[in-house]
Chain A
Amino acid sequence: GIQVEQSPPDLILQEGANSTLRCNFSDSVNNLQWFHQNPWGQLINLFYIPSGTKQNGRLSATTVATERYSLLYISSSQTTDSGVYFCAVLKAAGNKLTFGGGTRVLVKP
């Protein structure tokens, strides 16, 4: 199956700092999504981004499909950004959405 690796596994930020989270995948994909799991356990859709760049407020994401990676940028971090960020991919011609191990982010006030 496809392998999905996220880095770093843990990230501690001071409020206001910027950060970059990375997702590497081992095969061609038709679907790549970023999710934020908040402290209450809810999985929130951030981006559907199989290729290209998207921005939503302080968050942006870039996927370079030919090089098999995606980046999630958090700018001017806030304490509400704390939680776990997951990358998930759907292999080309596949049916299974496969998750990376996540990056746990803690933003300190």
Chain B
Amino acid sequence: DAGITQSPRHKVTETGTPVTLRCHQTENHRYMYWYRQDPGHGLRLIHYSYGVKDTDKGEVSDGYSVSRSKTEDFLLTLESATSSQTSVYFCAIGPKDTEAFFGQGTRLTVV
């Protein structure tokens, strides 16, 4: 299995609170991605990183920020969680132009 760990695996939080999800890799891959999965929408890209401190937006980036201060960690932050951000969040890693691997997912519920 690719060395990807997402934490936490499950979280329930209240509307308006900040939330940070962590993706940790042991593969030294350059590219890391955050996706969200919702019924009827498949997997949609939130943000991605192509190196330390190099990040860019995906198709559904509003309300989210990311940081990558070292190769192995990619953090996704919801500054002020809303109910529309209730979702399953997946992290993926991979070198560009080759196979990408996904973490186990984080189920986030905003109440």
Contact = CB atoms under 8 A, between A and B. Distances in A.
A86 interface: yes
B48 A96 contact: yes
Q: How large is the interface on B (under 10, 10 to 19, 20 to 34, 35 or more residues)?
A: 20 to 34
B97 A88 contact: no
A95 B99 contact: no
Nearest to A30: B97
A68 to B, nearest CB: 17
Contact of B42 (A33, A42, A95, A101): A101
A1 B59 CA distance: 9
Contacts of B94: 97
Contacts of A90: 96-97
B19 interface: no
B42 A96 contact: no
Interface residues of A, number: 21
Given A48-B99, A86-B43, A95 B104 contact: no
B97 A96 contact: no
- Pick from B42, B92, B101 the residue with the most CB of A within 10 Å: B42
Interface string B75-107: 000000000000010101010111111101100
A74 to B, nearest CB: 20
A96 B45 contact: yes
Contacts of B105: 41-43
A35 B99 CA distance: 11
Given A30-B97, A86-B43, A99-B43, A41 B88 contact: yes
B96 A95 contact: yes
Contacts of B58: 96
B56 A88 contact: no
Interface of B: 31, 33, 35, 42-45, 48, 50, 56, 58-59, 88, 90, 92, 94, 96-102, 104-105
